[in-house]
Amino acid sequence: MALLQDPAFWLAVGQIILIDILLGGDNAIVIALACRGLPEHQRRQGIFWGTMGAIVIRIGLIGVALTLLGIPFLKLVGAALLVWIGVKLLTEEDDNHEVDASEKLWGAIKTIVLADLIMSVDNVIGVTAAAEAGGGDHKLTLVVFGLLVSIPVVVWGSTFVIRLMDKFPWVIIVGGMLMGWIAGTMAVTDPAVLGFVPIAELPGGSPKVANWFYQTSGVVGAALVFLLSRIKKRYASDKETDPNTSP
């Protein structure tokens, strides 16, 4: 096939894989957090099907990524959902005492796909740019090929993070707070709020959120997820110990 003999095609594939490796760390953490509570024999299933669902979502986003970024309030909604997901992932062990194993597996897959859908727009834009540069008339083929090649990297990364979480429980807290960090930085870049936040002008004249405010928003988002998860855990603990609480 002539396409596979084109150096530009393979250069673009390499760029796409590199983008997925550099920007896919948060996705691997989400997958690990969602699957850590599954039985050992179901972890691989959760990681595999969650990753496949996320890849399908990314392919579907390719054609609309730039349009989505320009819709006011969409990032704010996404940020709120990420905060909810972060709190859920940090407290899921408290919520799943009587959940059937198959339901836990399906729940983990749904969480992975939803989180990846919210976080992947920027990733998709980078992939699309690489495809535009080297794909010619085969941009979608290039994108699909590059994403499929990156699957083993995401699966391995998720498996590695799960092992870290098993050995070092504090990694779970860091992973959950990462969801808050992403939520905070996502919220302040929404078109609906850009007129109300500190802006730094880029050399080309396009506006960008001031770096100090961007980073502070990430810290606030991470702290919010941590505090809400502590409050939820405290509420659940008080509910269990209160003798007046009905079973």
> What 8-state DSSP symbol labels residue 200?
E
The two tokens of residue 111 are: 């969480």
Identify whether the C-beta of residue 89 lies closer than 8 Å to the C-beta of residue 176. Answer: yes
| 246 is a domain residue | no
Q: pLDDT per residue over 190-234, tens digit each?
A: 889 988 889 886 665 566 888 899 899 999 999 999 999 999 888
Count of residues for the chain?
Answer: 247
Q: pLDDT per residue over 22-74, tens digit each?
A: 556 677 788 888 888 888 778 888 888 888 887 787 777 776 766 676 788 98
| 157 is a domain residue | yes
| 84 is a domain residue | yes
Identify whether the C-beta of residue 49 lies closer than 8 Å to the C-beta of residue 55. Answer: no
Mean pLDDT check: name the lowest of 91-100, 119-128, 163-172, 201-210: 91-100
| 247 is a domain residue | no
Q: pLDDT per residue over 1-10, tens digit each?
A: 555 566 666 7
Q: How many domains does the chain have?
A: 1
> Which backbone phi and psi does 207 adopt, to 5 degrees?
-75, 150
Predicted TM-score (pTM) of this structure: 0.74
Residue type, 209: V
Structural domain span for residue 101: 2-241
| 189 is a domain residue | yes
Q: Between 133 and 162, whose confidence is greater?
A: 162
| 108 is a domain residue | yes
Predicted confidence (pLDDT) at residue 99 exceeds the cutoff of 50: no
Identify whether the C-beta of residue 177 lies closer than 8 Å to the C-beta of residue 225. Answer: yes
Identify whether the C-beta of residue 16 lies closer than 8 Å to the C-beta of residue 75. Answer: no
